[in-house]
A and B are shown apart, each in its own frame.
Chain A
């Protein structure tokens, strides 16, 4: 079974600071990787996804993530955060192949951006 670790529980940044949120997964096979964002009082929204190809993936709102297979990592980055980026960020993984419906989420990282 796959599992996902997000090491930062709460990150506090000032506006214009750079962001990197860590995500590591454990699974022996090929995986698809996702980052979801949940703004306060809103639904989970897909930020970006990686299936194959270029390991540097660009998503919405200026976010990007890099898949490093050797490190089992899929870290989320943004060069300059805004107050409106305040939200909970979830990394998620599903395995390609049998049981591939299973979307496993990390515990989430709460991002607070101070104006």
Chain B
């Protein structure tokens, strides 16, 4: 079992819907990440939070809005998504943002945009 929990596991939404993806870890990690993984492709970094502050936004469109309410939780708010946004969204965490900290991944949320 993974120590990073993501909900929901699957989400189908229309282009006008607003939904949120949730990620939770209780390992005391202070860095959390959102990745997007298309089929047969490697994960691509979207956002990095370090000590609950947004550190990195990899030029992600504003229809994706991350939020870190506390050190254990990371949300990704979705609004007005496009069909090409259909993908597996992975959350990861590491002890801190440094290079020596392996990232632990959740199972992901498989998102389909109609």
Residue numbers of A with Cβ under 8 A of B are 32, 34, 36, 42-46, 49, 51, 90, 94-97, 100-103, 105-108
Pair B90/A101 contact, Cβ less than 8 Å:
no
Considering the chains assembled together, what is the distance between the CA atoms of A34 and B102 in angstroms?
Answer: 8
Pair A101/B56 contact, Cβ less than 8 Å:
yes
- B46 beta carbon closer than 8 Å to chain A: no
Considering the chains assembled together, what is the distance between the CA atoms of A106 and B2 in angstroms?
Answer: 22
Considering the chains assembled together, what is the distance between the CA atoms of A96 and B102 in angstroms?
Answer: 13
Interface string of B85-100 (1 = CB under 8 A from A): 0000010100001111
Q: Give the chain B neighbours of A96 by CB distance below 8 A.
A: 99-100
Q: Give the chain A neighbours of B48 by CB distance below 8 A.
A: 101
Write 16 A-B pairs (CB below 8 A) sorted by A numbering.
Answer: A32-B99, A43-B4, A43-B90, A44-B105, A46-B104, A49-B102, A90-B42, A90-B43, A100-B97, A101-B98, A102-B45, A103-B45, A106-B42, A108-B40, A108-B41, A108-B42
Residue numbers of B with Cβ under 8 A of A are 2, 4, 31, 33, 40-43, 45, 48, 50, 55-56, 90, 92, 97-100, 102-108
Pair A44/B99 contact, Cβ less than 8 Å:
no
Pair A43/B99 contact, Cβ less than 8 Å:
no
Complex partner residue of A100 from B41, B99, B104, CB under 8 angstroms: B99
Q: A49-B102, A97-B99, A100-B98 are in contact. Are A44 and B43 (CB under 8 A)?
A: yes
Q: Give the chain B neighbours of A34 by CB distance below 8 A.
A: 102
Pair A107/B107 contact, Cβ less than 8 Å:
no
